[in-house]
A = this chain, B = another copy of it.
Amino acid sequence: MAELIEGLFLPRLGSPDLARADDSAVLPEPGGQIAFTTDSFVVDPPIFPGGDIGRLAVCGTVNDLAASGARPLYLSTAFILEEGLPLETLERVASSMAAAAEEAGVRLVAGDTKVVPRGKADRLFITTSGIGVIPEGMNVSGHHARPGDVVLCSGTLGDHGMAIMVTREKLGFAGPIESDVAPLNGLVEAFHPLRHGLHTLRDATRGGAAAVLNEIASQSGVAIEVAEEAVPVRPAVRAACELLGIDPLYVANEGKLIAVVAPEVAEEALAIWRAHPLGRDAVRLGEVLEGPAGRVHARTPFGTTRLLDRPLGEQLPRIC
Contacts and interface: CB of A to CB of B under 8 A. Distances in A.
B68 A22 contact: yes
Interface in A282-320: 313-314, 317-318
24 contacts: A21-B142, A23-B37, A23-B64, A23-B202, A24-B37, A24-B132, A25-B36, A26-B33, A27-B33, A29-B30, A29-B31, A30-B30, A36-B110, A37-B110, A39-B78, A40-B79, A40-B112, A41-B114, A42-B80, A80-B80, A115-B317, A116-B122, A121-B122, A125-B125
Contacts of A37: 23-25, 76, 110
Interface residues of A, number: 67
A268 B316 CA distance: 59
A8 interface: no
Interface string A126-144: 0101111010000001110
Interface string A52-74: 00000000000111011010001
A87 interface: no
Contacts of A70: 24, 26
Interface in A87-121: 109-117, 119-121
A203 B23 CA distance: 8
Given A30-B34, A77-B38, A125-B125, A318 B24 contact: no
A281 interface: no
Nearest to A121: B121
Contacts of A130: 24
Residue in A22, A70, A130 whose Cβ sees the most chain B Cβ within 10 Å: A22
A39 B34 CA distance: 21
B34 A29 contact: yes
Given A1-B314, A115-B317, A35 B39 contact: no
A111 B36 CA distance: 10
A317 B120 CA distance: 12
Contacts of A228: none
Nearest to A78: B40
Given A30-B29, A317-B117, A129 B23 contact: no
Given A30-B29, A36-B131, A80 B125 contact: yes
